[in-house]
Amino acid sequence: MLATVPADPVSTDKVAPLRAALLAWFDACGRDLPWRAGEEGRRDPYRVWVAEVLLQQTQVSRGLGYYQRFLDAFPTVQVLAEAPLDAVLKAWEGCGYYARARHLHRAAGIVAAQGFPTSYPGWRALPGVGPYTAAAISSLAFGEGRAVNDGNVRRVFARLFAQPRPADAWVQAQADTLLDPARPGAWNEALMDLGATVCTPKAPRCAVCPVSAFCAAFARGQSTAYPAPKVRAPVQEVRAVAVLMGDQHRAVLEPRTGTLLGGLMGLPTEVVGAGETQQQALARLCARLGATAQGLLGELTHGMTHRRITLEVYVAHGPQAPQEVAQAALSRLDQKALALYGRQPSLFPVP
């Protein structure tokens, strides 16, 4: 069992050397990212905002392409505010967690009308802006002394202080204490870069870490032991059926609902209820649509947060008119479903 260090290993007299070591490393090795352009503490708040929202659930390596695509479509907050929500969701396609895009669009309308907030409280008042995002924007774009608290920061502090299960309040307290008041934005980015590139979850590069001399976990030779693994919620298995009326280019679509996919379009779908078979759910779906199923197109699985969906896709014919798939914002689940038709279109020719 991992023990917690009884006293903080980073004593008061070591705070300044720790800050200096990490910031010197960041100045030499920090990642060159597009939203970091501009003078420290005086960056474009819109670009920082979009990046921070996008990267909440997306790794930087994947997020770079999404970020540039979104900025190409909506180069300013005014353009974003004036765009229809459907266009925003389409530009967000593939990023997942679509509530982020809906909140960003709604908040852009407020900012376009009232101007950018210049402080943490102002950012927190916007839809979808939580403590981390508000601290990141206010420090990076305006130089405000606000410390960020995310997964990278949690892991770095858990190792520095040899804390096996660091609570959010504890992490925030350490972040507030160690924040460099002269360069708060750079300090926040340095911590995040350290966690992303050196103090990584499974294979930390302790030999090149600029703060290993201050690290209690490293001193014990137990870097990977901290923090202790989180207890994960069990994955919920969900079965569902969908019908494809049309083909992979033109198909009948209907609005998705719910927190994750709300606002997107997708193939008509029904979840298989408890004690129900796929065929019973399919019959219920076809009755709702006035459609007739022609045959099974295929089956796929798709992971979403704590759910794993097994989806059977059937070809069907009904009275509804298909629409252009390319113009609709679709989830990865529906893109996978449509791809099934492209593999064997001759089995189910469109009448």
Beta strands in 146-261 (DSSP E): 236-244, 250-251, 254-255
Those residues whose C-beta lies under 8 Å from the C-beta of residue 208, and which sit 6 or more positions away, are 198
Residue 182 or 5, more confident: 182
Convert the pLDDT of each residue in 223-271 to its tens digit: 999 999 888 888 899 999 999 999 999 999 998 876 566 678 899 999 9
More confident site: 55 or 123:
123
Single-letter amino acid code for the residue at 220: R
What is residue 6's predicted lDDT score, i.e. its pLDDT?
Answer: 39
pLDDT in the model for residue 38: 87
Question: What is the rounded average pLDDT of the residues 275-301?
Answer: 94
Of 125, 165, 171, 127, nearest to 148 (Cα)? 171
Which residue out of 40, 52, 270, 312 is catalytically annotated?
Answer: 52
Domains and CATH numbers, the chain: 12-225 (1.10.340.30), 236-347 (3.90.79.10)
Whole-angstrom Cα distance, residue 92 to residue 260?
Answer: 13
pTM: 0.81
Residue 244 bridge partners (DSSP): 315
Q: Give pLDDT tens digits for 87-112.
A: 999 999 888 888 899 999 999 999 99
Token pair for 208: 């090149």
- DSSP three-state, residue 299: strand
32 vs 29: CA distance, rounded Å: 9
Cα Rg, the chain, nearest whole Å: 24
Q: What is the pLDDT of residue 98?
A: 87
Q: Is the pLDDT of residue 183 over 80?
A: yes
* 122 or 8, which is more confident: 122
Q: Is 309 helix (H, G, I), strand (E, B) or coil?
A: strand
pLDDT of residue 158: 97
Give the strand pairing for 269-271 and 265-266. unpaired
H or E element at residue 308: strand 307-317
pLDDT at 320: 93
Known active-site residue 40: no
pLDDT of residue 260: 60
Backbone angles phi, psi at 224, to 5 degrees: -75, -10
* Cα 276 to chain centroid, rounded: 34
Write the CB contacts of 253 (distance below 8 Å, at least 6 apart in sequence): 265, 266, 267, 268, 323, 325, 328, 330
> Is the model's pLDDT at 3 over the cut of 50?
no
> Structure tokens of 24?
């010197």
d(CA 229, CA 179): 26
Average model confidence (pLDDT) across the chain: 90
CA separation, residue 342 to residues 36, 96, 194, 297 (Å): 41, 23, 44, 10
Kind of pairing, strands 254-255 and 250-251?
unpaired
What count of other Cβ atoms lies within 10 Å of the Cβ of residue 31? Answer: 12
Pairing of strands 323-324, 250-251: antiparallel
> Which residue has 């995002």 as its token pair?
133
